[in-house]
Structure 1
Amino acid sequence: MKRRKFIKLTSLATLPIILQSCDWSEDTNGFPITVHTDIHTGHLIFKSQGFEKGDSISVETAIVGGGIAGLSAAYSLKDRDFMLLELSEKLGGTSSFSALGNTTFAQGAHYDLAYPSNYGDEVLSLLEELKVIEFQPWKDSWSFSDKQYLISNARKNICFEQGRFRGDVLVEGEEKEKFHQILKPFYGQMLMPSTMIDEKHSVLNEVSFFDYLNDRMNISDRFKRGLDYHMLDDWGGTTEQVSALAGIHYFTCRPYNTQVVDLFSPPSGNGYFIDKMRDQLPNDRLLTSHLVKSVEKVADGFLTEVIDIENNLVKTISSKNIIYAGQKHALKYIMPDQYELFQNTEYAPWLVLNFVMKDGIEKKGYWQNEMLTDDETFMGFVDSDMQETNDSDKRVLTAYYCLPSSSRNDLKNVEANREVIVSKTLGYLNEYFEKDLTDLVEHVFIKVMGHAMPIPKPNYLFSDKNENRLYENMTFAGVDNARLPLLFEAMDSGIQAARLLGDMDC
């Protein structure tokens, strides 16, 4: 099929529609496309029945999951006897990153902001110990030590809609003014970690953000589109889906009105923090490519069966304690008696596309490029032109899709539809840059995340499952334990999960 006809065809369908079928006509973009996904690893559970038995390992604490929460728990236990188990071949979870040659790019969460005093003393202490941040008393705040990764305020972000650029996703006018009047009383009240928020605000957790706003102002379709974009970008759901507490927290937790806020974005995204913690931990205690098959409670602790994917072995790990920092939906298969605690948690699937470009894009970039298009699942792109990288010749455009939960089962079709997914996304980038970028693309990487983030729906927050856990020596970490999907929350959850296991200096 000719390229023009092919692109015209794909422009008629949003990504969720494209993913529903494997029958799209093939087209060769002329560059390699690599898909990273763990979606097919489930078959190893059945295949492993024929695997040989491997080592039996005894440790004090087994940690399931090697993302931010799991690594934070491991760091808290760095002087103890622990073993961390991660399904993927690399640590990171939804904060993973990849590379082409010496060009590094994020495949998940990708930035963070300066740390004001109310972001949680324990997380600040951990990051200071890692030499990631330093205190600035004249601002009563924290900043990052690696200042080469700070993004210039002038080039932080821009919004593109219908061929025009503006400074903010939310359109200026009376609606925006009214909106900020409604939010004004909550500045300084929305703390991180969210467990620190005063209980007087719990009523905000019982209604949707849309219902809360709709009772206080008239919301046009256009303004709602901007609000939904923001909520999808950080929380994985629309204003109707997320709680008023989550929505208000998004807009008021950061000190935009009182100080200039540093934005920190290394090329590896939040993988930067993964590396900082990993470098302080014994490598032989961090087992990647290890799929947890089952966890069984026994008299003196737990027996965990683990599939060593690279060596086709089944290992048994005996531990006194377990910190479960993996995605909680998997408990349905791993430890069914614990799944009931999390069965109402809803996750947003994401796709991340990294376009590694050859030199030739003349247009100077903005770091975050918000794009409001015909496909409401498309979340724009990050441009490495504004980042300090090791490779000045390669420019990486990292595009994001936040998909509805109903699309999760269709992610199995990403590999078959990779050409049309890339062409669809490239069409948006072409529109933004006002030129066909096809010949400048060197390689495209697609990261599939079926359970990228929990959606903070009404009644999701303030329900820490550790308060009602079945076993005193099994704790839960991760933002899908009644937390907002943020770096601070993930780190704090890992620290607290380790602390709950005993009176230890974490």
Structure 2
Amino acid sequence: MKRRDWLTSTAASALGLAGCSRTMPVLEGGFEDASFERGHLLHENPRRWPAPAVSRRVGALVLGGGIAGLAAARALRQGGVDDLAVLELADQPGGNSRGRELGGLACPTGAHYLPLPGDEAREVQALLEELGVRRREAGRWVYDEHALCHSPQERLYQNGQWQEGLLPSQDQSPTTLAQYQLFARLVDTEQKQNRYAIPLSRQSLSPGQLALDALTFGQWLNQRGLNDPALRWFLDYCCRDDYGAGVDQVSAWAGLHYFASRHGFQAPGSEAAAQAAESAVLTWPEGNGWLVERLAAPLQGSHRGGPLYTGRLVLRIEDQRQAVAVDVWDVAQQRVERWLAAHCVVALPVPVAARVQAAAPDWVQATALRWQHAAWVVGNLQLAAPLTDRPGAAPAWDNVVYGSTGLGYVNAAHQRLDPRPGPTVLSFYSALGLGHAARRQLLEQPWTHWRDQLLKDYLVPHPDLLAQAQRFSISRHGHAMAVPVPGTLAHLTRLPQRAPARTRLGVPAVLAEGRLSWAHGDWSGYSVFEEAFTRGHEAGQHAVLQLRGRVPS
């Protein structure tokens, strides 16, 4: 495949979806980013890689420029390590948190928000203070109003109209409301009996949580008679949105962690529900790409072309006697480079890390075999003007159709200060589920297939969608996130602990061996910003200590 496969087609050919036969304006579109195809060079095009054409030496080497890799580089710089390099496969850092521009308008190609970090996410809090997003005023923490998601935040399209919030609440039966209340009580009990925290490495795990880890969320709900269709759809949506898979695939621990680690669950009409409606998240037109730009900026200087090197495919990692040797494929120069480093932070997805490391430790290989990843598609649609709306709640930042297999769209213009209506970009999300079949679809289906899949549910609530559409860009994420299926938590507790004596049952914060340390959201078993950032920060700090001789190699 070419790096950018821009094609054209008519909206009418796209949509037998709408039963529309009239010819519509040409809709330009295609796939965005080349890292999907580059990654497959490791196994789909087996070849004898040439000998290294150039050799480079560096003090600290970070492999992967996603959130974990960028956090590791930041921690290294804070520790006084300037002799470092970050190698990234794509042309742009950020991984699943990248942003882009479409028609001159910023929009996300992956993660689009960050919940206000809790007390345990100290490193993320410090980052937000550094960036001016969070500050102390009169003894309390205040967040920049420009970054807080503007109201209204969420709405749901159901029964021909929009409602505020995503929990189906209009004209619900007494049975549905009773199940909402029961689930709220169960979550509240779980929060009181067990401690839930993000990042995961900061909490002690109870036997009860490990028992929840042994069954699916769907099984746990069935055991308690929670079978109402509206509640089950909402809970399935939440799991697909946060984990990439539904209630019948993620563990009961993960399903409860979604609520218990943050804001709980509030039944409609309760006082807590009114307060939760105002719960805040941080977001920007380009989503978490705003954070990526600021994390990457110090790495993009003129010194040696800057310590951030894009278009690098890691081929092999070996911890040798004197240094870590890393061979990479330079996409632009079409040659192999050898990097020699005193310490290497492997901020790669677990399956990739296990594949490219020579004599990878058993626990790395075992994790790679056990972990399951969800495939995602994100589509950005450029619109000439705001869309016509159905009755009900006003246009919101996050907009979802009840019963849809997709995850809705966010409006990139929602955070603008200019109130005048104008062109915008809608970002559509869909989690395709687990397994090779989903990833094979990503590779084989044309961009028009994903366009149709993402747009089909929105032609009824927005009848002029096609008339306003100008361009559609598709971003594919084959291994978007590790999915916390049953057994994930138990496996994490068996990873090597660096502490001399284990005083609690928990998940290790630092994974290191020899001159290597591992940092990626995968090592928490699920993918959120706080997990990836904290793991990268911890790995970077460990590298600083080793480079200073305070930790043996």
**Mapped partners of 1:453, 1:151: distance in 2:** 24
Q: Determine the structure 2 residue equivalent to 1:41.
A: 38
Q: Which moved more, 1:83-92 or 1:276-285?
A: 276-285
**Mapped partners of 2:25, 2:430: distance in 1:** 20
**Does 1:124 find its partner at 2:160?**
no
**Mapped partners of 1:303, 1:333: distance in 2:** 15
**Does 1:226 find its partner at 2:239?**
no
**Does 1:409 find its partner at 2:440?**
yes
The superposition leaves residues 477-501 of structure 1 with CA deviations (integer Å, 9 ceiling, x where unpaired) of 1110024311111110101112333
Stretches of structure 1 lacking an aligned partner (at least 5 in a row): 12-26
**Mapped partners of 1:337, 1:287: distance in 2:** 26
- CA drift of 1:394 comes to 2.1
2:328 aligned partner, one-letter code: V
Describe how 1:42-441 pairs up with structure 2 within 5 A. Answer: 42=39, 44-45=41-42, 49=48, 53-78=52-77, 79-80=80-81, 81-116=83-118, 118-135=119-136, 142-145=141-144, 147-153=145-151, 155-172=152-169, 173-187=177-191, 189-200=195-206, 201-255=209-263, 257=272, 260-281=278-299, 283=301, 284-335=306-357, 337-338=359-360, 339-363=365-389, 365-373=395-403, 376=405, 378-388=406-416, 393-405=422-434, 406-414=437-445, 417-433=446-462, 435-441=463-469
The superposition leaves residues 457-484 of structure 1 with CA deviations (integer Å, 9 ceiling, x where unpaired) of 1232361646386733211111100243
SS at match of 1:343: helix
In the superposition, relative to structure 1, how do residues 392 and 215 fare at CA in structure 2: closer, same or farther (>3 Å)? same
Q: Which moved more, 1:380-389 or 1:71-80?
A: 380-389
CA contact (8 A) 1:48 1:307 kept: no
Q: Which moved more, 1:475-484 or 1:342-351?
A: 475-484
- CA drift of 1:107 comes to 0.4
CA contact (8 A) 1:7 1:424 kept: no
CA contact (8 A) 1:29 1:419 kept: no
SS at match of 1:401: strand
1:412 aligned partner, one-letter code: L
**Mapped partners of 1:2, 1:111: distance in 2:** 33
2:157 aligned partner, one-letter code: F
**Mapped partners of 2:315, 2:415: distance in 1:** 40
In the superposition, relative to structure 1, how do residues 131 and 227 fare at CA in structure 2: closer, same or farther (>3 Å)? same
**Does 1:447 find its partner at 2:470?**
no
The superposition leaves residues 286-310 of structure 1 with CA deviations (integer Å, 9 ceiling, x where unpaired) of 1111111111221123111111111
In the superposition, relative to structure 1, how do residues 302 and 387 fare at CA in structure 2: closer, same or farther (>3 Å)? same
2:439 aligned partner, one-letter code: R
2:148 aligned partner, one-letter code: L
The superposition leaves residues 42-92 of structure 1 with CA deviations (integer Å, 9 ceiling, x where unpaired) of 464558857684431111221111111110000000131221110000001
SS at match of 2:545: coil
Stretches of structure 2 lacking an aligned partner (at least 5 in a row): 1-8, 170-176, 265-271, 499-510, 549-553
**Mapped partners of 1:319, 1:340: distance in 2:** 26
- CA drift of 1:400 comes to 0.6
- CA drift of 1:115 comes to 2.9
CA contact (8 A) 2:17 2:452 kept: no
Q: Determine the structure 2 residue equivalent to 1:21.
A: none
- CA drift of 1:362 comes to 4.3
1:371 aligned partner, one-letter code: V
**Mapped partners of 1:493, 1:466: distance in 2:** 15
CA contact (8 A) 2:379 2:429 kept: yes
SS at match of 1:294: strand
CA contact (8 A) 1:324 1:475 kept: yes
Q: Which moved more, 1:401-410 or 1:119-128?
A: 119-128
Give aligned pairs, total: 481
**Mapped partners of 1:329, 1:102: distance in 2:** 36
**Mapped partners of 1:452, 1:413: distance in 2:** 17
**Mapped partners of 1:77, 1:236: distance in 2:** 32
SS at match of 1:69: helix
Q: Which moved more, 1:191-200 or 1:160-169?
A: 160-169
In the superposition, relative to structure 1, how do residues 292 and 131 fare at CA in structure 2: closer, same or farther (>3 Å)? same
- CA drift of 1:247 comes to 1.3
Supply the RMSD in Å over aligned alpha carbons. 3.0
Q: Determine the structure 2 residue equivalent to 1:459.
A: 487
CA contact (8 A) 1:346 1:454 kept: yes
- CA drift of 1:194 comes to 1.4
